[in-house]
Amino acid sequence: MLPGSILQQLAIAHEQSPRPLRFGVYYKNTLVALCHALEDSILSSHSQPLVIAAFQRGKWYLQEAERYQELAAESRQVVIMAAAESGFFEHSTSQLANVALVDLDPTDPVAQEWHLIILSPTYTAMVLCQELSPSDYGAAGLPKTDLERKFYGFWTFEPALVQEIVELAIAHIGKYNPSLQQTLTAQVKDIVAAGDSPLPEDLSGIVSRVVDYLQISQEDLIANQHPEVAAAQQPVLDVNLVSNKLQAFVRMAQLIELVSTGNPMATSEVAALAEVMGQMLDLPAWQLKRLKLAGWLHGLVALPITENLVVSPFPSCSLVSEVQALRRMPRLQAIAHIITHQTEWWNGQGIPAGIAGEAIPLESRILGLIAHFDRLVNQFAQELPNSPPQEIWQQALGECQTEAGDRWEPKLVETLTLLVMGMQQGLSLPIAPPKITSGIWLLDTPQAAEIHTAEANRNYIYGT
Amino acid sequence: MELNAIRDGKIKCLPGADLEDADFVGADLRGINLAGANLTGANFSRANLERAHLEGANLMAAQLIGTDLRAHLLGANLMQADLTGADLRGSNLRGANLMTAKLIQASFAGAFLSGANLTNGNLQGADLRGADLRGVNLTGANLLGADLSYADLTGVLLNQANLEEADLQGANLAGANLTGANLLCAELAGANLTGANLTGTCLLGAAV
């Protein structure tokens, strides 16, 4: 990371945080689609945001300047950072009253960065990346085409992170233009005062747009709309697009979970617990992976409100749209099916289908129990901050045990009991934020034969 | 026909058999003994080979896509084999030859691979959590997004390997050769790099 770059400042600020940031690799092809989707969401959100964009060089801005004219009309303020090249100041977009230009010194590390930061009371998003230097490409060699240029960094919808970055960016802008810094600082103050929503409005619509735009890029690659990209390189770009489609969903699920539990690691905890539980049940590798991905995405369905639960601020009807968004990716349909049925009850009294027993997909039964257990653990940890974790686990387990046979499959509650015993004796779970690249395999639908084998194994496990 | 009898589970003991290019797609071959057999080019995709004895078997260019291969593979030859999505959790692959094998998204969690040769193997997205990879040759291997957390990689050869976005959290890389390797955005928190050779290694965005 370049010293003094915004990415590096973000990394340093989060070095000691309980949830370290994980940077990803992005090809320019992916970044263009991602940024266009996030920018176009400004037009549909009517949120009048502050937009800060860093383009490296004036010529990259000029390629987008026509689009930015439309974006400026729907924005409170647009700031463009780039190392000026001819036409930078002259373009009609540059002349607009609410567009400010920052002519970056070519030696400024920020001139190697690609930012899109959107802050408003109802819509927040950001992309923060840095380009590899020619020597960083190493043995693989320099990219042959513009679309293959490689960046690394981070993107998110999370309002708190976006606000943090806006403040870093404004401080940097202040080195060039102190009066603009003052104006922007005042605007941020107004936006923060006006926004009390922890979650962007219409998040599922924005995520759907991101997925659609990445899909279009992928189709363009497949249809060879970019003959300049060598055939050998196309799968690499393709994987990067697919993994970002999945990341869009995971980010949405994480954010919903964060808002409803207050725990930024809730999603990772559920995924790790579900995987260990699957291992204890000796599920085959493909089913474990599917279970883990469903764990990452389970937050897309709000749990039904009961007296034992922290009341979710989201009515379940509106969240169905998040699951529908998932179905836009054909290979995620199995996951959508699992998380849709995680709220069924073993006795058939649950929702949405009211199915009972083994008619409920096994992964849904596991996930429902684990998500409920984790939610109780988080709730008790907040209510009883001085209790040791062993007691909190025991209490949460106790609640699950009282509902065995009604809400939960008794065998699964027994397995959870063993898991909790293990945790009380020092078993630690590898709770890590999702690594999306390795998650791609999860998207492959297993062959019918594998499902058959899984059912056979399952009967073997339960002796039926 | 012998092949049908094997597929139906009637014949379980075939050490050293010649079954080149045989078709065992989806077959239930749990516990079969094929030690030292010639299985070159055979197709075991989605078959169940749990606890099978394949020590020293020749599986060169075999198809093992999605196969349950939690088996005994000591010294087996899997050169150029396709093991995409195969389940090798806890398997014994010590000294096996996996040169240029396709191991995309394969599960090797807790497997024993010490002394195996994985030169130029494709291990994209593979799960190698806690695996014993001591002294393994992974020169030029593609480990993009692979999970190597808590794996033992002591003295491993990873020169020119692609470890982009790989998870090496808590891994032991003591004495590893990472010359010219790509660790862009890799996760290295808690990894032991004592005595590792990092000449020309790209560590941008890596969480150390």
What pLDDT does A189 receive? 95
- Both tokens of A158, joined, read 């999370």
Q: ipTM of the assembly?
A: 0.86
The whole-number average pLDDT for the span A120-145 is 88
Q: What is the DSSP string of A153-209?
A: EEEE--HHHHHHHHHHHHHHHHTT-HHHHHHHHHHHHHHHHH---SS-TTHHHHHHH
Same domain, A322 and A452: yes
- The verdict on residue A207 lying in a domain is no
Query: A48 vs A39, A74, A190, A267, CA distance in Å?
Result: 12, 6, 12, 31
Q: Please give the pLDDT value at position B156.
A: 97
Q: Is A34 exposed, middle or buried (0-12, 13-18, 19+ CB in 10 A)?
A: buried
Which pLDDT value is given to residue A441? 52
- Rounded Cα–Cα distance for residues B208 and B206 (Å): 6
**Which of B25, B144, B188 should one mutate to test binding to chain A, selecting the residue with the greatest count of A CBs within 10 A?**
B144
- CB spacing of A23 vs B185 below 8 angstroms: yes
Number of domains in chain A: 2
Tens-place pLDDT, residues A445-457? 444 334 444 444 4
Q: CATH number of the domain at A106, please.
A: 3.30.870.10
* Nearest CB partner across the interface for A138, out of B104, B105, B180: B180
Nearest Cα residue in chain B from A452 = B26
Nearest by CB: A437 against B89, B125, B202: B125
A175 and A275 in a single domain? The answer is: no
Residue A302: pLDDT band (50, 70, 90) is low
Beta carbons of A22 and B187 less than 8 Å apart: yes
The whole-chain average pLDDT of chain A stands at 85
Per-residue pLDDT at B153 = 97
- DSSP label of A216: H
Q: Are the C-beta atoms of residues B113 and B132 closer than 8 Å to each other?
A: yes
Q: Are the beta carbons of A440 and B105 separated by less than 8 Å?
A: yes
B179 shares contact with chain A (CB less than 8 Å): no
- The verdict on B105 touching A (C-beta cutoff 8 Å) is yes
Would residue A243 count as lying in a domain? no
| A341 lies in the same domain as A444 | yes
Of A182, A201, A220, the domain-final residue: A201
Query: Per-residue pLDDT averaged across A214-219, rounded?
Result: 89
- CB-neighbour burial class of residue A134 (10 A; exposed 0-12, middle 13-18, buried 19+): exposed
Widest pairwise Cα distance in chain A: 77
Asked if residue A320 and residue A171 are part of one domain, the reply reads no
Alpha-carbon gap: A96 to the closest alpha carbon of chain B (Å): 37
Pair (A194, A293) in one structural domain: no
Coil/strand/helix, residue A115:
strand
Q: Which residues of chain B have pLDDT under 70?
A: 1
The answer to whether residues A418 and A343 belong to one domain is yes
Higher per-residue confidence, A441 vs A197: A197
- Say if residue A97's pLDDT is above 90: yes
Tokens of A421: 């015993």
Task: Please indicate, yes or no, whether residues A11 and A104 belong to a single structural domain of this protein.
Answer: yes
A245 inside domain = no
Distance CA A98, CA A109 (A): 26
Shared-domain flag, residues A177 and A308: no
pLDDT at A390 over 50: yes
Is the pLDDT at A221 greater than 90, yes or no?
no
Question: What is the structure's pLDDT at A440?
Answer: 55
A20 in B contact zone (CB under 8 Å): yes
- List, as ranges, residues 1-20 from B with C-beta within 8 Å of A: none
- Tens-digit pLDDT profile for residues B49-70: 999 999 999 999 999 999 999 9
Residues A147 and A279 in one domain: no
- Domain of A94 in residue numbering reads as 6-201
Nearest to A372 by CA among A404, A327, A334, A349: A404
Min mean pLDDT across A95-109, A186-200, B134-148 is at A186-200
Query: For the residues of A116-166, what is the DSSP string, one character each?
Result: EEEE-SS--EEEEEEEPPGGGGGGG-S-SSGGG-EEEEEEE--HHHHHHHH
pLDDT at residue A310 tops 50: no
Q: Is B127 on the interface with A (CB under 8 A)?
A: yes
Tell me which H or E stretch contains A379.
Answer: helix A362-383
User: What DSSP state is assigned to residue A302?
Assistant: P
Kindly state whether B102 is in contact with chain A, defined as any CB-CB distance less than 8 angstroms. no
> Does A387 reside within a domain?
yes
Interface mutation target, options B65, B67, B68, chain A, most CBs of A under 10 Å: B68
Indicate the residue of B146, B150, B169 with minimum beta-carbon distance to A438: B146
With beta carbons under 8 A apart, name residues in chain B contacting A139.
160, 180, 182
Residue A289, domain member (yes or no): yes
The answer to whether residue A224 sits within a structural domain is no
How many interface pairs between A and B have CB atoms less than 8 angstroms apart?
Answer: 99
Which residue of B68, B145, B164 is in closest CB contact with A284? Answer: B68
Closest Cβ–Cβ partner in B107, B126, B145 for A435: B145
| pLDDT of residue A460 exceeding 50 | no
Does A60 contact chain B (CB < 8 Å)? no
Residue B39, min C-alpha distance to chain A (Å): 22
Contact (CB, 8 A) for A143 and A137 = yes
Q: Would you say residue A431 has pLDDT above 80?
A: no
Q: Do A285 and B87 touch (CB under 8 A)?
A: yes
**B182:A139 CB<8 A:** yes
Residue A379 resides in a domain: yes
Within-domain flag for A448: yes
Dmax over CA atoms of chain B, in Å, equals 58
| Together in a domain, A438 and A341 | yes
Both tokens assigned to A353: 């289908």
Please give the helix or strand (H or E) that residue A25 lies within, else none: strand A24-27
Cβ-based neighbours of A72, under 8 Å, separated by 6 or more: A78, A93, A96, A98, A99
Last residue of a domain, one of A155, A175, A201: A201
Mean pLDDT of A63-71: 95
Q: Are B179 and B199 in contact (CB under 8 A)?
A: yes
How many Cα neighbours within 13 Å face the side chain of A392? 17
Q: With an 8 Å Cβ cutoff, is A459 touching chain B? A: no
CATH classification at residue A452: 1.10.3210.10
* Interchain CB contact of B67 with A (< 8 Å): no
B54, B30 contact by CB (below 8 A) = no
Q: Do A430 and B129 touch (CB under 8 A)?
A: yes
Q: Are residues A296 and A443 in the same domain?
A: yes
Nearest CA in chain A to B103: A441
Q: For A440, which of B46, B125, B180 is closest by C-beta distance? A: B125
Q: Which residues contact A349 (CB under 8 A, 6 or more apart)?
A: A406, A407
Q: What pLDDT, on the 0 to 100 scale, is given for residue A275?
A: 93
Which residue in A135, A435, A452, A461 has the most chain B C-beta atoms within 10 A of its own C-beta, making it the best mutation to test that interface?
A435
HSE (CB half, 13 Å, CA atoms) of A440? 23
Domain boundary among A150, A171, A201: A201
C-alpha pair distances (Å), A37 with each of A148, A162, A209, A225, A236: 19, 17, 6, 20, 21
